[in-house]
Amino acid sequence: MEALNHFLFQEMNFAGNQADYYQPENSFLHQVLERRLGIPVSLSVVYLEVGWRLGLPVWGIALPGHFLVGYGPVEEALYVDVFHQGKLLSVEECMQIAAGPFSNPAAFQQYFLKPAPKKAILLRMLNNLKQIYIRANNWEPAYHTSDLMLALYPSQVKELRDRGVLAYRMGRFQAATFDLYRYLFLRPDGPDSEWLNSRLQEMEEQLLRLN
């Protein structure tokens, strides 16, 4: 592992893009490889792929708030923070990181440190990218990213809602009503049902005017 860290972070100069964390390029692997800058999950994918080619026992950890890499047997793993140059973290430090998104250390669950399937890692990357686009009010690429997430996991009910809301933001009312009606059918008592029903009524009125 020390040799891998030296190669990636000293010789190849891969690093976490702390100066511009929310830049979309941080999530595109070809850009990460070219610029040698990324966010935790994209840098971890590079680390994993190189590690696997070397036959190292590395695996992804989809810790809430900060993607990590595990090294060695799951029961005796070392926790590697690729974003911070391969820094090793204790279980307690992992708990503190996970407490951030939940604002509650008690919300930490041991399964957070279990190996993440490759499909789940891809979903994490897409979700990060979607949030970056939403943060910039960039609805079109956010919508297409949400579409990819649903292609990957069609049963994601919340993502159905998100895609519908993004379509609404872009004025694509037919696509939006299709997704949001499906969402409300599956989650009729959701906390956002009142707001969504109002948006649906608004869109239906707009569509009637067009006809």
Q: How many angstroms separate the first and last alpha carbons of the chain?
A: 64
Q: Say if 9 falls within a structural domain.
A: yes
Long-range residue pairs from 201-204, CB within 8 A, at least 24 positions apart, any chain: 203/168, 203/173, 203/176, 203/177, 204/177
Q: Say if 170 falls within a structural domain.
A: yes
Q: Say if 143 falls within a structural domain.
A: yes
Q: Say if 158 falls within a structural domain.
A: yes
What is the average pLDDT across 16-42? Answer: 97
pLDDT at 79 over 60: yes
> Is there a single domain that holds both residue 107 and residue 149?
no
Write down the residue that tokens 């090294």 correspond to: 71
Q: What is the pLDDT of residues 197-209, one digit of tens each?
A: 999 999 999 888 8
> Is there a single domain that holds both residue 7 and residue 100?
yes
Write down the residue that tokens 């569509």 correspond to: 207
> Is there a single domain that holds both residue 49 and residue 146?
no
pLDDT at 62 over 90: yes
pLDDT at 53 over 80: yes
pLDDT of residue 108: 67
Query: Please, which residues have CB within 8 angstroms of residue 180's CB and are 6 or more apart in sequence?
Result: 161, 164, 165, 168, 196, 199, 200
CA of 175: how far to CAs of 20, 60, 160, 163, 184, in Å?
A: 33, 35, 11, 9, 14
pLDDT at 106 over 90: no
pLDDT of residue 105: 58
> Is there a single domain that holds both residue 108 and residue 141?
no
Q: What is the pLDDT of residues 120-147, one digit of tens each?
A: 999 999 999 999 999 999 999 999 999 9
> 47 and 69 in contact (C-beta within 8 Å)?
yes
Which of the four pLDDT bands, split at 50, 70 and 90, describes residue 165? very high
Which of the four pLDDT bands, split at 50, 70 and 90, describes residue 34? very high
> Is there a single domain that holds both residue 109 and residue 141?
no
Counting the structural domains of the chain, the total is 2
pLDDT of residue 208: 85
pLDDT of residue 119: 95
> Is there a single domain that holds both residue 91 and residue 144?
no
Q: Say if 126 falls within a structural domain.
A: no
pTM as predicted: 0.88
pLDDT of residue 211: 63
Residues in the chain: 211
> Is there a single domain that holds both residue 79 and residue 169?
no
- Beta pairing partners, 87: 81
> Is there a single domain that holds both residue 108 and residue 14?
yes
Q: Say if 129 falls within a structural domain.
A: no
Residue 148 belongs to a domain with what CATH number? Answer: 1.25.40
Q: Say if 51 falls within a structural domain.
A: yes
Q: Helix, strand, or coil here: 29?
A: helix
Q: Helix, strand, or coil here: 16?
A: strand
Domain membership of residue 31 as a residue range? 2-113
CA separation for the pair 173, 208 (Å, rounded) = 11
CA separation for the pair 116, 60 (Å, rounded) = 5
> 34 and 144 in contact (C-beta within 8 Å)?
no
Write down the residue that tokens 């040799």 correspond to: 3
Q: Say if 122 falls within a structural domain.
A: no
Type of residue at 115? P
pLDDT of residue 38: 97
> Is there a single domain that holds both residue 71 and residue 34?
yes
Q: Left (φ > 0), alpha (ψ -120 to 50) or beta: where does 154 sit?
A: alpha
> Is there a single domain that holds both residue 90 and residue 154?
no
Which of the four pLDDT bands, split at 50, 70 and 90, describes residue 101? low
> Is there a single domain that holds both residue 6 and residue 109?
yes
CA separation for the pair 142, 139 (Å, rounded) = 5
> Is there a single domain that holds both residue 7 and residue 92?
yes
